[in-house]
Amino acid sequence: MSIVWLLNVVLLAVAPVLVFLLRGVLMAAKSITPVATAIAGVAQAGSKDLDAVIMLVTTQNYISQVVAGLADYGGSLDAALPDA
C-alpha cells in the first residue's frame, strides 16, 4: 500500500511541472499562426517584385544590341582615323 502512496506523491509533484511545460508548448504553437500569416503576406509582395524579371531579359537583349553597335562604330573609327 505504501507504493501506491509513493506513486501518488510523485504524480502530484510531476503533474504541475508537466502542465507548465505543456502550457508553454501550447502558447508556442498558437504563436505560429500570426507569424505564418505575416510571412505569407511578405512572400506575396516579393513574388510581385519578381514580375519585372522578364523585363530584365528584354533590357539585356537591348544592351547587347547597343554594345554590338558601339563596337562596330568603334571599329569603323579605328579604320577611318590614322594612328596618332
* Span 5-57, pLDDT tens digits: 888 888 888 889 999 999 999 999 999 999 999 999 888 888 777 777 788 88
* Between 56 and 1, the higher pLDDT residue: 56
Q: Judge residue 77's burial from the number of C-beta atoms within 10 Å of its C-beta, 0-12 exposed, 13-18 middle, 19 or more buried.
A: exposed
Rounded Cα distance, 66 and 72, in Å: 10
Grid cell, residue 3, equals 507504493
Give the type of residue at 17.
V
Rounded Cα distance, 16 and 39, in Å: 35
Which pLDDT band holds residue 81 (cuts at 50, 70, 90)? low
pLDDT given at position 75: 67
User: Cα-Cα-Cα-Cα dihedral of 54, 55, 56, 59, to 10°?
Assistant: 140
DSSP state of 8: H
